[in-house]
Chain A
Amino acid sequence: MLNSDIFVGGKQWENTEENKLPNNIPEVDEVGATSAPLLSASYYIGDKCKPFNDDFMQCKNENNGGELNCLKEGRRVTRCAISVLKDINKYCFDEFKLHYDCLEQNNQYFNRCRSSEHLLSKCVLTNLNLKKVVPGVKDQIQDKQYPIYKTDSNDIKQVQQFLKSKETNSN
């Protein structure tokens, strides 16, 4: 007590929230996925959460940025993203990990990881019925047969290994 009164810096630091949010704002869990998994799942999140995202952006446009007015819409966006990530982790965990590991090895460039992306998109389409669509473009780059920027050879190798091990496990 005396120590903390006299000497500056005598306060014992604890990780507790002292300025809590008011009660009228509901609690929401934050998204726990890091950058590469988020980027890998981004188009699927966009596919499923488009109405929530549009709603949030409209609210922001109408409320001059809407930092306080759009909390409810923002929470819906967060919850929707979490639900997609949960589903992907449940049904396509291995494919998902293959893709985001490849992204992480290749500076998070989509063009180097097309083979694992195809694997993931197939799994997501069958299990979650979500599809990657790049907006505003007629020719979807991920569906191109011979893109200018080639897939990383390591990625192709790892996908082949993955498919082989899957076959041997199923037999």
Chain B
Amino acid sequence: MPVPFEGLLPYAIMTAFFGLAGHGVQFIRYWDNGWKNDRYNLDEFDEKMMQRDFYLTGVKRGQQSDPIAPEEFKTIQQIPQRYWTPYRDQYFVLRERLFRGYVFGDWNWQ
């Protein structure tokens, strides 16, 4: 017995939307990498080199082949920013619990 096409319409719609979501995310990632494919299987050295690339070019996934780095590169440093609070480590809010590893079970009770 042939299946009427109306019976397959929901599957077509589901396939189309799953496809749109997946390919859409993939496209956004590709665009966000500066029209380059994702890096994967990275070790510590790769991460370090990507950080160095960022210091040299100023953009994520930027590349350049200049032999000599600019003078500022010798003393470059990145200072990570933290939110300011007068009660740091005093209240037991969810943000701090997350930060200290309480939520995922490696909280130090000492």
Contact = CB atoms under 8 A, between A and B. Distances in A.
A34 B56 contact: yes
A32 B49 contact: no
Contacts of A30: 68-69, 73-74
A105 B65 contact: no
Contact of B67 (A17, A32, A101): A32
B52 interface: yes
A35 B69 contact: no
A37 B36 contact: no
Nearest to B66: A32
B65 A97 contact: yes
B63 A35 contact: yes
Contacts of A85: 65, 67
B69 A107 contact: no
A81 to B, nearest CB: 8
Among B37, B64, B67, the most chain A Cβ lie within 10 Å of the Cβ of: B67
B70 to A, nearest CB: 7
B75 interface: yes
B41 A29 contact: no
Contact of B69 (A29, A97, A100): A29
Contacts of A34: 49, 52-53, 56-57, 62-65
Interface residues of B, number: 27
A85 B66 CA distance: 8
A104 interface: yes
A152 to B, nearest CB: 10
A11 B66 CA distance: 34
B65 A107 contact: no
Contacts of A96: 65
A33 B37 contact: no
A31 interface: yes
Nearest to A82: B67
13 contacts: A15-B75, A30-B74, A31-B69, A32-B64, A32-B66, A33-B65, A35-B50, A35-B53, A88-B65, A104-B61, A107-B40, A107-B41, A108-B39
The 9 closest A-B pairs by CB, nearest first: A32-B69, A85-B67, A32-B66, A35-B49, A37-B65, A30-B69, A34-B53, A86-B67, A29-B68
